[in-house]
Structure 1
Amino acid sequence: MKLFVGIDVSSETLDTCFLNDELDVLHEESYPNDTLGAFDLKTQAIKLHKRFDFQSIVIGMESTSMYSFHPAMYFQMDDELKEIGVHTTIEDPHRIKQYTKMYDMDKTDPIDAFMIADYLRIQRYMNSPVREEKYMALQRLTRARYQMVKQLVETKQHFIENLSYKCNTLKKELRDSDGSTTIFSATIMSLLTDDMSLDDMLQMPLENFAQLLQEKGRNFKDPEALAKTITKAIRSSYRLGAVMDESIDIVLGILVREIRSLESAIKDYEKAIIDLVESIPEYQYLTSIPGVGLVYAAGMLAEIGQIERFDDQAKLAKYAGLNWKRSQSGRRESEHTPLTKKGNRYFRYYLVEAANSVRRHLPEYRAFYQKKYAETPKHQHIIAIVLTARKFVRLVDTLLRNHQLYTPPRGYEDK
């Protein structure tokens, strides 16, 4: 006989169903979501084990971020549960929800706990341990950085939107010029949020304007060319009324401060990530790949945890949501199937970002990306880079599983 303990976790309670493999509910109870409640739940599991001598015991719950973290770690690390071979797992809520939809049942906490236990009973759960604490600690940092990057992207989009009111052709003129300056350079953002108006810049002699830019930037190769580009953009842009102009200046000034603050916070996160990931030996295997820095390596390691959690590279790719459902009916099989994207979005993000960097450094991945790009009729970059990331998963899995550094395949060493 086997025991499956389904826990419906909330901020305050652990609603629990103890179910055997013959669909008999041995015990149901709601415990507080604290150390005393977890202790009582553990005690009940041990009590039932002494009575029935189970072949195996699985304790499972849905992944509910901070609510499931503490009880999962408690059961995973408990010595008494280790002695009787208890397996603790955290499951994807989407999968359990899809399983529950097959049954026309009410939705209550006790029923949810039963359905989780029943899901475990059919043994479709992740056959893997809960991640070790060092990976969870790293995950807090990498996910916080991810959220900060998303916030920075959104803030920059707002900046561009409002800039189009003030000087609508500046972005285009800077892009088309030979220089490497963008609207997000410190010089341009400072210039746009100074008290000087666009007309003041336009009336300033070119050599004086170029000198002003050089004083703000100090590293321009051709400040006069940049001054001409900005002047051209000012001349071709629409003008705002005084009231609207003042409003846009306020918005741009606030957004510039926010952008600088977010960029500083991201650097602080990256420093903390690097300090922590260097204590995890596996990072060396990933950073040995050209194009994979410490931050990308940390992001992948934080989501993977121990590579032994996954049976093979296919399971690892599925965890990231980098797999395609097969569509076959009779003799017909579709060649075009959508990406599932039901996996871990953080892991998928770091995989895709790392793969995009790797293809610029490794000929093998560059050639693969270009081949897939040429084969795709639309959305070429998105599809090609996702397929490149799927190929990259195999390399990540191999290096982590074999504890080895990257070595280029034969035929690519000298390219």
Structure 2
Amino acid sequence: METVLYVGIDTSLGNHVVCAMEADGRIVARTTVANDRDGGEQLVTWLRAQAAPYARLAVGVEATSVYHAPLMEWLAQEPRLHPWQPTWYVLNPKVVEKFGETYVDRGKTDRADARLIADVLRFGRVTPWTPPDPRFAALQVLTRHRRQVSQLITQEKNRALVQLFCVWGQYAHTDEPFFSNVFGAASQAVLARYTPDTLAETPLADLAAEIAAVGRNRLKAPENIAQTLQRLAHRAFRLHPEERDARQQSLVLHLDTIRALERQQRELDTVIARDFQAFRQTLTTIPGIGPVYGAGLLAEIGPVERFTSE
């Protein structure tokens, strides 16, 4: 029977606490290394020394934040460990936690956690981890970043709508002729320049001309939009000047943030679509799925070869 050395690593921002254990549960050795390249080199040297009498290596960490990710990807590519045909594990923290409940005298320390992870590996019934394909991992970074940016845009728009209602009343809810998109360029230009008071005092012809200009002459009936704006301005509650100015400033800053985030989103769309071209896929043949959404699906699914069946 092959002898296996089980190694549990408790990861953190600053360092990794490591525990090596035999199949019978006896602790062979412990060490602590820094969470950087120098620490990784020390760990490889240490693993080679401890694994010398054994045929195989099993190394596991908890999937805690991202502190384990660079180390595990680097170790998995390390040729100096190949003689032990290492098996890698990235464990669900819940699995480790529930397993630890069987130890009535277990302390909650990094040393105890490293030992517990090694014990989980020793008892088995956990799924090995396969290092991600770099192409899919890179695409996943971009698509997840885009999702986060999209969520931030939604949050900023909701915050902006709060200030918009307080300053402008029914601006975002009118049924009269108006901007098709409250957060479109023309609408944002008006909100950034005017308060209800200043807009109400602006001559209708001048306001209509400005709306046509900021809308690049693509808006239908800018005169009607100008009339709607002035009606909304007259109907809005008048706040105390200090509160009005503060809310107006907050609204303008939210709009600035939305524009910046939307610019990031467009940049990400360009990069994602470019990188997506390197993959052979049929996702975009499905109506409604373009390169960005297709890339998001592909990045999360990963290589189809990792599935045992259709």
Tell me the residue number matched to 1:297.
Answer: 294
Match of 2:148 in 1: 147
Structure 2 partner of 1:216: 214
Partner of 1:171: 172
Contact persistence 1:89–1:130 (CA under 8 A): no
Pair 1:202-2:203 in alignment: no
Partner SS, residue 68 of structure 2: helix
What is aligned with 1:359? none
The alignment-based identity, stated in percent, is 27
Structure 1 pair 239–144 and aligned structure 2 pair: CA distance change class (3 A) = same
Deviation at 1:111, TM superposition (A): 0.7
Structure of higher RCO (CA pairs closer than 8 Å, 6+ residues apart): 2
Alignment of 1:13-412 (within 5 A): 13-54=15-56, 57-104=57-104, 105-173=106-174, 176-177=175-176, 181-194=180-193, 196-204=194-202, 206=204, 208-217=206-215, 218-279=217-278, 281-282=279-280, 284-309=281-306, 398=310
Q: Which amino acid aligns with 1:61?
A: V
**1:100, 1:290 → 2: CA distance?**
48
The question of whether the paired residues in 2 share the 8 Å contact of 1:287 and 1:294 is answered with: yes
Q: 2:292 is matched by which residue type in structure 1?
A: V
Question: What residue in structure 2 maps to residue 5 of structure 1?
Answer: 7
Classify the secondary structure of the residue corresponding to 1:142. helix
1:8 is displaced (CA, Å) by 0.7
Amino acid in the other structure paired with 2:185: A
Mapped contact 2:196–2:234 kept (Cα < 8 A): no
| Post-superposition offset of 1:16 | 1.1
Distance 1:19 1:47 in 2: 14
SS at match of 1:247: helix
Which is worse superposed, 7-16 or 234-243? 234-243
Distance 2:297 2:118 in 1: 30
> C-alpha separation between the residues in 2 aligned to 1:294 and 1:49?
47
Q: Distance in 2 between matches of 1:236 and 1:86?
A: 72
Change (3 A) 1:10 1:273: same
Cα offset, 1:164, TM superposition: 1.1
**Using the alignment, how far apart are the partners of 1:278 and 1:103 within structure 2?**
51
The 4+ residue runs of structure 1 with deviation greater than 6 A are: none
**Please, which runs of 5 or more residues in structure 1 have no aligned partner?**
313-397, 399-415
1:123 Cα offset (Å): 2.8
Q: CA deviation at 1:310?
A: 5.1
Superposed CA deviations along residues 93-139 of structure 1, whole A, max 9, x for unmatched, are 34323433443321111111111112223334333402122333333
Matched to 2:87, the amino acid is H
Q: Is the 8 A contact 1:13 1:31 kept in 2?
A: yes
2: CA distance, partners of 1:51 / 1:311: 35
Kindly indicate whether the alpha-carbon contact (under 8 Å) linking 1:8 and 1:109 is maintained by their aligned counterparts in 2: yes
Contact 1:162 1:248 in 2 (8 A): yes
Q: Hey, what's the Cα distance between the residues in 1 that align with 2:252 and 2:167?
A: 12
Distance change (3 Å), C-alpha of 1:201 and 1:48: closer
Partners in 2 of 1:268 and 1:255 — Cα distance? 20
Give per-residue Cα distances to partners, 1:184-243, cap 9 Å, x unaligned: 11111111121x442443355555543332221121123234334333433332122322
Unaligned ranges ≥5, structure 2: none
TM-score (norm 1): 0.66
